[in-house]
Structure 1
Amino acid sequence: MKKLVLTGGGSAGHVTGNLALLSTLKQAGWEIEYIGSKDGIESTIIAETGLPYHSIAVGKLRRYFDLKNFKDPFRVLQGTFQAFRLLRKIKPKAVFSKGGFVAVPVVIAAWINRIPVVIHESDLTPGLANKLSVPFANKVCVTFPETVQHLDRQKANHTGSPIRSEILRGSAEAGRAFCGFTTDKPIILAMGGSLGSVAINNALRQNLDALLQQFQIVHLCGKDNLDPRLEGLSGYRQFEYVSHELPDLFAMTDLFISRAGSNAIFEFLALKKPNLLIPLTRAQSRGDQILNARSFEKQGYSHVLFEEDLTSASLLAAVRETHDNRERYIAAMEQSTSGHAVEQIVSLIQQVAKK
């Protein structure tokens, strides 16, 4: 059986795209192994799949001054050497990278071993890790058509974002049963990424009295962000993180409040669900979520509230505006041609492996 190595990590978004490919890859006859970091979120997520998992050293390359910048290049070299030995042992026909700094040593090691590489860029402009990886890749898959202009057109392929098929197969009834919700009020799902968002958590909780008059709310607040004072509040459920039940929660949701990570927003698009996006600020990130959100706003898929403008009052107004105009957002999403990313990406992997 032909072997494929998947890599990517540092955040859940760098792993879920890989998970979306698993079923189709296995159907195509691929035997899959994963290379990630020892303590990254990818190690926990991949453990649930049963895939063979290998860890390497990881160094983060920062755009700002930090004393760790003097140490981390050596960790990148160490990780590259470890990945080189792993790839010689595994002998894959190809490597697929979803990004994150753990992927850089794997991509470089694959290039040294003359193993073809396909990478996927989630955001509108490539992140630093993928910028470093692109020269060593055979093909670069991109989510947004605008991204092609930032890359070598011989390598770039606009595939869209790979969506986990199970996300589209959830049961609204099961989701309501899991949360103890009823059918008489619409449901908001609020989340701030895999680590949670203090700004979103606080603004939402400040509005609970007003929002719960009209909505039921399930709140994915992130690790260590539960508020015990809110346990047992009627119409409100909070969880640090949800895994197996997530498709059911998505199915029952009428409106999302979320950061603007690419994986999440394309899942909302696939589900045709109205959403309020609150992207990370430029002070917190390189600005990729702002570009993602603006693209979706321009296409009529999302309402955007920038964190600089986030207050208790502005969040409440934005939620009501999004819900009141939900049919307009749904109609725009119905016109989207985004889809079939998984099939396109697997096809590219097959192509480079043959070469």
Structure 2
Amino acid sequence: MKKAVIVGGGTGGHIIPAIVVALELEKKGYMLKWIGSIKSKNLEEKIIHNYFSKIEIYHIPSGKLRRKKNIFLTIFNIKNILDIFQILFGTIYSIFILIKQKPNFVFSKGGFVSVPVAFACKILKIRFYTHESDYTVGLANKINLYFSKKFFYSFKDTIKMLPQNKSVFSSNPVRSDFFENNIDIINCIVDDNIKNFLERRKEKLPLILVLGGSLGSLKINEIILKILPQLCNEYYIIHQTGDNKKLEFSNPRYFQISFISKDVSNCMKLSSIIISRSGANLVFEIVATGKPAIFIPLKSASRGEQVSNANYFALKSPLYSVLDEDEIDSNKLLNEIKRLTAKSDFNRYDKSEKVEFDEIKIRAEKIIVDTIEEDLSIK
């Protein structure tokens, strides 16, 4: 039987696109195994088991390079030194996993959990494929690039940073439900609490969806909290706060939840405007639904990739706005919400303002799987 190992962990941004590819591989008859990180074991199992209840998941140690202001501080950072051993242990563990599983190939979604697996694949001569979601290439994927048979990327302009001989434009894998047009969206909601909140909406008011990424965002939570009394006068709000980040606020028009799992696509479709961080996976999901959004990039992200992700789409379409988290205040966010919602009939924007992005026209998971199978057929 054909077998593939998927590598993805750390955050939802690495896990979700890998799941989309895994679902496509499952359709093609592959037996799947998963390698994730010990550090994010609970999150990985929570998300992955929503789609594959019986999949075997291995969790390996993996290090992370913490970049400092100068090379001396980077090299002699004690955590970086200790993490060299984590990478070594992760590589050894990966070798044992791959010897046991004997996969036809390994597909990686990047992140530092993938680096030990890339080393192991090189040692065992197993074909290794990598995908980059962000506009800029992360450090882990810069390492993986040397070991990859094919390197898939999400933004068309990213090719400027990559070798053309092994790079393939695939876009970012987005779950199929983000592209589906459901007539009765509320009845498709799985979470009873979200469904009850939406069914209680009596006034015809716009719905705001607030997302801080899979882990939530304290910064966005703090800003939103300051204007919630005003927002609840004019809008309904669904707010993904993140685990252990509950806000002390109550209003019939406000609903908060630590993490939206299978219902996020339907919540996006029902919303009039989305406020979110701009990790690549989240950005692509929002753009796939065609809903206007205010992006508040996490500037402390390792190389500023969230800023690049958000600006790429905002510069091409008036439906997207980017606010600097260091300069934003409650009034600025409130004004931007009003500006974007004032142009719409709650859910519909002027068709002339919609841009058909090449990144959304194609289905990434099909391109990735077809390319891998074509490459595997070449001895």
TM-score, length basis structure 2: 0.88
Corresponding residue number in structure 2 for 1:201: 221
15-24 vs 39-48, greater mean Cα deviation: 39-48
1:31-180 equivalent positions in 2, closer than 5 A: 31-40=31-40, 41-48=43-50, 49-50=52-53, 51-64=55-68, 65=74, 66-169=77-180, 172-174=185-187, 175=189, 177-180=195-198
Alignment partner of 2:254 out of 236, 240, 250: 236
Output the CA distance in 1 between the equivalents of 2:18 and 2:171.
14
SS at match of 2:126: coil
Q: 1:221 to 1:155 in 2, by over 3 A?
A: same
Alignment partner of 2:366 out of 343, 348, 355: 343
Cα deviations by residue, 1:128-167 (Å, 9 ceiling, x for unpaired): 1111111000111111011111111111111111111133
Output the CA distance in 2 between the equivalents of 1:305 and 1:247.
23
Cα deviations by residue, 1:212-239 (Å, 9 ceiling, x for unpaired): 1221000001111102x324x1110001
Q: 1:331 to 1:94 in 2, by over 3 A?
A: farther
| Off by >3 Å, runs of 4+ in structure 1 | 167-171, 325-334
SS at match of 2:35: strand
Q: 1:297 to 1:329 in 2, by over 3 A?
A: farther
108-117 vs 91-100, greater mean Cα deviation: 108-117
Output the CA distance in 2 between the equivalents of 1:150 and 1:30.
32
Offset at residue 328 of structure 1 (A): 5.5
326-335 vs 56-65, greater mean Cα deviation: 326-335
SS at match of 1:152: coil
| Equivalent residues of 1:272, 1:334 under 8 A apart | no
Output the CA distance in 1 between the equivalents of 2:243 and 2:8.
21
Output the CA distance in 2 between the equivalents of 1:244 and 1:55.
24
Offset at residue 334 of structure 1 (A): 4.7
Q: 1:22 to 1:289 in 2, by over 3 A?
A: same
Offset at residue 30 of structure 1 (A): 1.1
Output the CA distance in 2 between the equivalents of 1:345 and 1:103.
17
CA-atom RMSD in angstroms: 1.8
SS at match of 1:55: strand
Structure 2 runs not aligned, ≥5 long: 69-73
Offset at residue 247 of structure 1 (A): 2.9
* Counterpart check, 1:298 vs 2:315: yes
Q: 1:26 to 1:330 in 2, by over 3 A?
A: farther
Output the CA distance in 2 between the equivalents of 1:22 and 1:10.
17
Output the CA distance in 1 between the equivalents of 2:284 and 2:165.
25
| Equivalent residues of 1:274, 1:330 under 8 A apart | no
* Counterpart check, 1:218 vs 2:229: no
* Counterpart check, 1:268 vs 2:286: yes
Q: 1:329 to 1:74 in 2, by over 3 A?
A: farther
Output the CA distance in 2 between the equivalents of 1:189 and 1:38.
31
SS at match of 1:285: coil
